[in-house]
Structure 1
Amino acid sequence: MRNHAIFQNTNPNPNAIIIKAKILESEIREVMKKREQLRQNQNRSMSRRSITWRPPPGNWLKANVDAAYSRSTAEGAIAVVIRDNSGRLLTGESMRIRDYSSLAADAEAMRRALILAINLNMEQMLIESDNLPLVQAVKSKTYIGEVESILRDILLLAESLSNCGFTWVPREGNKVADRVAKCSLAGQLEENWRRKPLR
């Protein structure tokens, strides 16, 4: 407007200039806000994709556990997938169960992993679950009312192994156990799933 006033001899309207500047400012702010949201969404998406299965340390084995549960039928399926530090599938187990909650089903999967490790003399075992309250309860040796008896079993069984640890992983890092449990619940799990490469 200043250039118009100097070079074209126009008489600028200060109120119109202020209104136009405020409109432009709000448009710029809106564009910047959208760009920031887009950047955050991309970062979230990239971090989700970068979460994968991590190998256990040294000679340890890792048992990823998960459960699928249907509240309407009170039926579920548990999955245990045991791999070495190169990611090679050593063994696994899946079974249908009847239970009263998804937390109870996840706790059953963890208990089953310990039983499997003891029966197969797997002494150094890291058990990984995407159920954070369950992992926290086991690590802190506290009890959650609805699964107290299962948690007591888990802690007792863990003492039978010379080295046993429990870790939490986001669902994206527990995909194989999640898929095995869901397929088992849906009756779609292939008989030879233990002999196939897992991703």
Structure 2
Amino acid sequence: MVWWEVSWKPPTGDIIKNNYDASFDQGTRKSVSGILARNREGLVMAACIFPWENIPDSMMAEARACLQAVTIAKEMGFQDILVKGDALTIIRKLNSAEDDKLSISSLIKEIKWRGHRFRRLRFEYVPREANKVAHGMALEGRQHENPQY
């Protein structure tokens, strides 16, 4: 399979797959997180958008969206979670045991801390093409927040 043929695939077993993405507007320092949780049949378990203000950069917007995806999963009582996003830096930081000095380090620590509340939690990178529904939700949410887009 080549990169342009990538599409969403259902999780196996009792895992809930949470895809997340964020849109970011540097001029207004606002972002919108889009989160979509689906089960192995592809049924939507949750679909949410969350607006954020005072976001300094796109990396912070992505980290905030990931934290929200984990928070939603816990609030809904899911125990086995696969969180997928298209921000490779965020996914690498979440899968690393090392601390860093990036502006998102406190959010990464918070996400990891919340991860201990699940039976199983994994973070995986997904190309944007396979994350297009969460991406579209984030863009749509931004248009509702800022009608000029």
TM-score (norm 1): 0.69
Tell me what 1:83 maps to: 38
* Superposition deviation, residue 118 in structure 1: 1.0
Aligned to 2:57: 101
Q: Which has the higher contact order (CA 8 A, sep 6+)?
A: 2
Shift of 1:144: 4.9
In structure 2, what is the Cα distance between the partners aligned to 1:47 and 1:88?
A: 26
Task: Give how far 1:120 is off.
Answer: 1.1
Instruction: Indicate the structure with greater strand content.
Output: 2
After TM superposition, give the deviation of residue 141 of structure 1 in Å.
3.0
| Offset, 1:84 | 0.5
Listed as ranges, the matches of 1:100-179 within 5 Å are: 100-142=56-98, 143-179=100-136
Moved over 4 A (4+): none
For 2:48, give the aligned amino acid. Answer: E
Q: Specify every segment of 5 or more residues in structure 1 that has no aligned partner in the other structure, as ranges.
A: 1-45, 189-199
Cα separation, 1, equivalents of 2:91 and 2:119: 19
Superposition RMSD in Å: 1.4
Match of residue 55 from structure 1: 10
Matched, 1:183 2:146: no
Structure 2 unaligned regions, length at least 5: none
Residue 4 (structure 1) aligns with:
none
Equivalenced residue count is 143
SS at match of 1:105: helix
Q: TM-score, normalised by structure 2?
A: 0.91
Q: What is the CA–CA distance in structure 2 between the aligned matches of 1:155 and 1:178, rounded to whole Å? A: 23
Higher helix share: 1
Amino acid at match of 1:51: V
Identity of aligned residues (%): 24
